């Protein structure tokens, strides 16, 4: 157990570490030989600092002691805590031949009664601070003013230069005095942003990082020179430090950068060029993809908006005809059946039923002026499918053209070019794109929902042509991998047609229990599904002509 001896000789109080225990012991691990020679254990002082200070203060006053001499460097800080509580002490002598460090300096700065200070050495920047803040006579015993390599390299000779320094250089490996002065520098400095390390040493770097984190320094860039240093050691050291202090470095924004020498860059020029070219290419590709995605998004948005505009114009035509012709006995509106969770529904509560079912000649008369390819109108309850149907000379034209025959990737609802509306084929086929927004055949997927297809009101489809008003009873609904076996329009013998009927009935996800014969006419609706790998198909038979 460390013990400190306090000796009084005339007006001087000398304090040192007790080299050998004395045989006499007092209570509380305290040895007292006489009033002029007092011994306290270190632990006792730490636990009873105020009591020890008060006790010594009484002795000092009684003996008229004005001076204190501290003989051992490692006890200076603790003894100063006692001395600072004894106001009658006016002189302090630090006997060890070691310079005053920053912590000792702060403790001296706290003292309000000292008039004289005798030290071996004190850095100029601390001396400057003492001169500014205290009326204190200072005696320095060293013949040569002491300064570490770190302080000298960075010209840190005044307090203000330390406080405002933004960038420092580490040129040599740290010695003991450099460690001490760097710690002092970090304690005082408030503007540091860059640390340039020209001589790399792992232990020095760890010490620097610890000091930065302990003092809560932020936004520091540590530049390490590759020249004259071992690159592998630098890589390994930085990796190890980042692993150990990852969160702290991130929170404090402390970053590393390796500055490669000209020779290194020259030797690795081709490799670096290739890397840079690759980075530029990847960046360009990513940028191009983003641009194309943006263009495609805007194009789709614009084209869908054009389709919605056409839908609005078509409804206005219907409303105008409603106003001009008073038509009764329209089909009633049907209540929307909520689908299963697996199939989203965004359709309105009720489906509009147009007056052209009784005035289709007036409706089509107007529509034919807009598009002479108009062949009919298709409506499916509780979906958004309520469109005029067109027909071209092939099945490609309306894949990418709207009702006004303008180019549009959303296309339009069209009938197979092989079909004849004047004399219905055995199988009339209507196509439309499956658009996510719900336009065209985007809501045909609702028919796969049991709550939709089990509703009797939904099982009747209206498809009118220029010549006929027709109702169709659903007989089959299914999904099927991409195939063409259901899109044949005409069958040249009864057997082939019966095979076709058996095929589509057998695929249905629901038994509609409808009788179907080779004398029936079929309406087929088809759209793509699952990115074109599947088809959603609906078949209905003609029940009203």
Tens digits of per-residue pLDDT, 109-147? 888 889 899 988 888 778 777 766 677 888 888 755 557
Q: pLDDT (tens digit, 9 = 90+) per residue, 264-283?
A: 877 776 666 777 788 888 88
Least confident of 11-20, 189-198, 414-423: 11-20
Among 18, 14, 13, 45, residue whose Cα is nearest residue 29: 45
The whole-angstrom separation of Cα 202 and Cα 218 is: 21
The secondary structure of 120-162 as a DSSP string is SB--HHHHHHHHHH---EEEE--SS----HHHHHTT--SHHHH
**Could you tell me which residues are beta bridge partners of residue 119?**
140
Q: At what angle do helices 176-188 and 102-110 cross, to 10 degrees?
A: 50
Domains and CATH numbers, the chain: 326-544 (2.40.260.10)
Among 235, 240, 232, residue whose Cα is nearest residue 257: 235
- Computed on alpha carbons and rounded to an integer, the radius of gyration of the chain in Å comes to 48
How much is the pLDDT for 345?
A: 43
Q: Is the pTM of this model over 0.85?
A: no
Distances from the Cα of 420 to the Cα of 376, 382, 423, 493, 501, angstroms: 12, 28, 6, 19, 20
The catalytic site residues sit at 528
The whole-angstrom separation of Cα 232 and Cα 154 is: 28
3-class secondary structure, 51: helix
**Could you tell me which residues are beta bridge partners of residue 255?**
221
How much is the pLDDT for 222?
A: 95
How much is the pLDDT for 473?
A: 95
Rounded to an integer, the average pLDDT of 19-42 is: 63
DSSP single-letter state for residue 229: S
Angle at 336 between CA 334 and CA 338, to 5 degrees: 155
Per-residue b or e along 441-473, where b marks 16 or more CB atoms closer than 10 Å to that residue's CB: bbbbbbbbbebbbebeebbbbbbbbbeebbbbb
Q: pLDDT (tens digit, 9 = 90+) per residue, 346-384?
A: 444 444 444 344 466 778 888 999 999 999 999 999 999
């Amino acid at each position: 157990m460390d013990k400190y001896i306090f000796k009084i000789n005339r007006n001087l109080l000398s304090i040192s570490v007790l080299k050998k225990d004395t045989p006499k012991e007092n209570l509380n691990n305290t040895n007292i030989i006489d009033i002029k020679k007092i011994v306290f254990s270190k632990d006792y002082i730490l636990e009873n600092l105020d009591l020890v200070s008060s006790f010594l203060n009484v002795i000092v006053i009684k003996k008229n002691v004005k001076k204190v001499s501290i003989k051992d460097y490692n006890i200076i800080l603790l003894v100063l805590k006692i001395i600072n509580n004894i106001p009658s002490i006016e002189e302090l002598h630090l006997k060890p031949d070691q310079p005053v460090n920053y912590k000792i300096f702060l403790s001296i700065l706290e003292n309000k009664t000292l008039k004289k200070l005798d030290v071996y050495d004190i850095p100029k920047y601390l001396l400057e601070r003492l001169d500014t803040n205290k009326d204190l006579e200072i005696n320095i015993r060293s013949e040569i003013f002491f300064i570490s390599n770190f302080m000298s390299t960075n010209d840190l000779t005044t307090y203000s230069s330390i406080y405002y320094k933004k960038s420092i250089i580490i040129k040599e490996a740290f010695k003991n005095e450099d460690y001490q002065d760097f710690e002092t520098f970090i304690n005082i400095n408030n503007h540091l942003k860059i640390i340039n390390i020209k001589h790399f040493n792992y232990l020095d770097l760890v010490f620097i990082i610890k000091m930065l984190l302990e003092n809560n320094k932020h936004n520091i860039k540590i530049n390490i020179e590759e020249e004259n240093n071992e690159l592998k050691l630098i890589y390994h050291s930085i990796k190890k430090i980042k692993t150990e202090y990852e969160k702290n470095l991130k929170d404090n924004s402390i970053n590393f950068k390796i500055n490669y020498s000209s020779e290194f860059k020259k030797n690795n020029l081709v490799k670096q060029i290739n890397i840079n070219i690759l980075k530029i290419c990847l960046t360009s590709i990513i940028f191009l993809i983003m641009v194309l995605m943006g263009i495609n998004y805007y194009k789709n948005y614009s084209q869908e908006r054009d389709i919605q505009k056409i839908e609005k114009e078509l409804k206005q035509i219907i409303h105008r005809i409603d106003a001009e012709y008073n038509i009764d006995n329209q089909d009633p509106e049907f209540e929307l059946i909520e689908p299963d969770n697996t199939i989203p529904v965004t359709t309105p509560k009720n489906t509009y039923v147009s007056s052209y079912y009784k005035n289709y000649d007036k409706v089509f008369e107007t529509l034919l002026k807009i598009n002479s390819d108009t062949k009919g109108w298709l409506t499916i309850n509780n979906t958004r499918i309520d469109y005029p149907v067109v027909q071209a000379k092939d099945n490609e034209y309306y894949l990418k053209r709207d009702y006004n025959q303008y180019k549009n990737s959303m296309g339009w609802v069209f009938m197979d070019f092989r079909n004849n509306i004047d004399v219905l084929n055995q199988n009339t086929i209507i196509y439309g794109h499956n658009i996510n927004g719900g336009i065209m055949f985007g809501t045909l997927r609702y028919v796969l929902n049991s709550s939709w297809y089990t509703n009797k009101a939904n099982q009747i489809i209206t498809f009118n042509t220029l010549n006929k008003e027709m109702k169709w009873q659903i007989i089959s609904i299914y999904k099927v991998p991409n195939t063409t076996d259901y899109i044949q329009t005409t069958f040249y013998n009864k057997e082939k047609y019966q095979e076709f009927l058996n095929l589509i009935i057998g695929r249905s996800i629901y038994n509609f229990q409808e009788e179907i014969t080779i004398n029936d006419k079929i309406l087929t609706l088809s759209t793509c599904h699952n990115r074109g790998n599947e088809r959603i198909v609906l078949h209905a038979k003609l029940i009203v002509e």
